[in-house]
Amino acid sequence: MTAKIKEFPGISLHEQDFTDGKILYNFDKLNGIYAWDTGVGIGSYLASLKAGVILGSHCPSCRKIVVPPRTFCEFCYRPMDEYVPLKDTGTVNTFSLCYVTWDVKRIKEPEIPAVIDIDGASPLHGIMHMLGEINPKKVKIGMRVQAVWKPAEERQGSINDILYFKPIKEA
Amino acid sequence: MTLLQRDPRAPASWLGELPVTNRYTYGLAAEKFFRTIKEEGHIMGTHCPHDDHTYVPAAAFCERCLRKLDEWVDVGTIGDVVTYTFLYVNLDGSPLEKPEIVAFIRFGDGGLIQRLGEIEPEQVEIGLMVEAVFKPKPKRIGSILDIKYFRPVKI
């Protein structure tokens, strides 16, 4: 509300008014089906995720190894020359404690999205994923984590073939 | 040219769906308009005394003088065909043997766009008087489709 307007005109509606039939309305669902071409780099990345490997690609000119694999180097624009299988371990680069779900529901136990620099890729090259099997209070930048994979028969060539990353227990 | 090859096992495409839904409430005037169709089977309009203009479907404000409209009028269920068209193609693109007839039917100073029924295509003409055929009351949901179609008035 503003200084001039104390109350907006109109009628406030609550969810109950719709379920009780107090208000007439039209419900519609957009036909939002899409197919996204995976391309050379990401297609190969998804195929190797199904096989249980995180794939990167190598630039012959600046010698960077990037993940996910790209066919052209983003830094020097040269074509990449080879795929590099990477380890499924890494280091937390940054993270967030998220107390709302994607459809804006409050949750008590936070989800922990993080950017994880994958071992074998160039420094500061990583992917975004979730952390799991961890106390949210104990997450730290720089901590070592390892991928927890779905069972091989359930994998479908998706980033979700990795369930989450869990901390590596130091011996 | 790329040096890298696509993994032959790679999925060709990633399939997804955007979960976008919407709920449209009709607003003050149209809420009453549709509720009258649903519960009484009448078509209502609003009249502006300043411009002597009757809005059908009912409007909350006059488009001409921006006054608030609260004079409701029952415009009956009989109107005349202002214009019409034959549709030979279905919603999914398949051809139709017998055309759907869609017409603009005048009520007050406005009107409704609806199907015509119980009529052969060659009988349709501009100026034809047609009356609304409503669905049975329990089946009405408060939509313009609660009017099944308009049929010629039998004299």
Q: What is the mean pLDDT of residues B22-29?
A: 91
Q: What is the mean pLDDT of residues B136-149?
A: 93
3 state SS of B39: helix
CB atoms within 10 A of CB B87: 12
User: Whole-angstrom Cα distance, residue B120 to residue B137?
Assistant: 27
Q: What is the mean pLDDT of residues B126-141?
A: 94
> Do the chains contact at A34 and B31, CB–CB below 8 Å?
no
Q: How many structural domains are present in chain B?
A: 1
Q: Where are the alpha helices (DSSP H) in chain A?
A: 15-19, 39-50
Structural tokens at position A36 = 């996204």
- Least CA distance to B13: which residue of chain A? A37
A54 touches chain B (CB under 8 A): no
Domain membership of residue B19 (yes or no) is no
pLDDT in tens, A98-146: 999 988 899 999 999 999 999 999 999 999 999 999 999 999 999 999 9
Tell me: cis bond preceding B138? Omega within 30 of 0 counts. Answer: no
Q: Which pLDDT belongs to residue A1?
A: 66
> Do the chains contact at B11 and A33, CB–CB below 8 Å?
no
Q: Where are the domains of chain A?
A: 39-167
Top residue of A13, A26, A57, A71 to mutate, by most chain B CBs within 10 Å, is A26
Burial class (CB in 10 A: 0-12, 13-18, 19+), A114: buried
**Is the distance from CB of B72 to CB of B59 less than 8 angstroms?**
no
Domain membership of residue B16 (yes or no) is no
pLDDT in tens, A10-54: 778 888 988 888 889 999 998 889 999 999 999 999 999 999 999
pLDDT in tens, B122-132: 999 999 999 99
> Is the pLDDT score of A170 beyond 80?
no
> Is the pLDDT score of A8 beyond 90?
no
**Is the distance from CB of B86 to CB of B101 less than 8 angstroms?**
yes
- Among A68, A72, A49, CA closest to A160: A49
Q: What single-letter DSSP state applies at residue A81?
A: -
> Do the chains contact at A32 and B2, CB–CB below 8 Å?
no
Q: What is the mean pLDDT of residues B55-80?
A: 94
> Is the pLDDT score of A171 beyond 70?
no
The backbone region for A112, taken as left when phi is positive above 0, alpha when psi lies in -120 to 50, beta otherwise, is: beta
User: Whole-angstrom Cα distance, residue B83 to residue A124?
Assistant: 67
3 state SS of A163: strand
User: Whole-angstrom Cα distance, residue B30 to residue A10?
Assistant: 14
**Residues of B in Cβ contact (< 8 Å) with A25:** 23-26
Q: For chain B, positions 28-87, list CB contacts with chain A under 8 A.
A: 28, 31, 34-35, 38
Q: In whole numbers, what is the pLDDT of chain B averaged over residues? A: 93
pLDDT band, residue A90 (cuts 50/70/90): very high
Top residue of A15, A24, A29 to mutate, by most chain B CBs within 10 Å, is A24
> Do the chains contact at B4 and A69, CB–CB below 8 Å?
yes
Domain membership of residue B21 (yes or no) is no
> pTM for the complete prediction?
0.66
> Is the pLDDT score of B73 beyond 70?
yes
**Is the distance from CB of A78 to CB of B3 less than 8 angstroms?**
no
B6 touches chain A (CB under 8 A): yes
Structural tokens at position A12 = 């406030």
pLDDT in tens, B86-96: 999 998 899 99
Structural tokens at position B138 = 């329990």
pLDDT in tens, B92-119: 899 999 999 999 999 999 999 999 999 9
- Among B140, B26, B137, B153, CA closest to B80: B153
> Do the chains contact at A25 and B14, CB–CB below 8 Å?
no
The answer to which of A5-9, B23-27, B57-61, B82-86 has the lowest mean pLDDT is A5-9
Q: Is the ipTM of this complex over 0.90?
A: no
Q: Which pLDDT belongs to residue A153?
A: 94
Specify the DSSP element, H or E, that contains B23: strand B21-25
3 state SS of B82: strand
Mention every residue, 6+ apart, whose C-beta is less than 8 A from residue B48: B54, B55, B62, B64, B65, B67, B69, B71
- Residue ranges making up the domain that contains B62: 28-152
Top residue of B3, B36, B92, B143 to mutate, by most chain A CBs within 10 Å, is B3
